[in-house]
Amino acid sequence: MNVQGFNHVTINVKSLHESLPFYVDALGMDLVHKGSKDAYLEWGSAWICLQERGDYSDQRIETLGVDHVAFTINEENFHNAAQQLKEKNIPIVRGPVQRGGGWTINFLDPDGANIELHTGSLKERMKHWGGME
């Protein structure tokens, strides 16, 4: 198996109508396709699929599944991005802080999905937390 890197993330949302403005307008993702129950967006070298699932909260176990999704941002743009999140009143759950070899900020989408912007790499994180020389 020769995995080459991050490809995409799929995020279940209650409503495309409510979630798309957050991802497109607030975060600046490029809308590539919008279907009746899904949307595909590009953000840097990653792509994101939003799937409308309605209110399914009582059908899942809240403690399992994806904890958060992290995207790389360069340090030159990080603090401006953090300021934009604050100006748009996007709920910030951590940061901005230096952590694990880079700057990080975690924030929530309209359905509570935890999204992170991080300036560091795995190699930098392992220098701080051990594991890689």
DSSP 29: P
116 is an active site residue: yes
- Helices and strands, counts by H and E, the chain: 3, 8
69 sits in the region (left: phi over 0; alpha: psi -120 to 50; else beta) called beta
Q: What share of the chain is helix, strand, coil (3-state, %, to 5)?
A: 25, 35, 40
Q: Which residues are within 8 A (CB) of 44 and not within 5 positions of it... i.e. 6 or more apart?
A: 71, 72
Residue among 18, 75, 116, 124 flagged as catalytic: 116
* Whether the bond into 96 is cis, omega within 30 of 0: yes
Just list the catalytic residues: 116
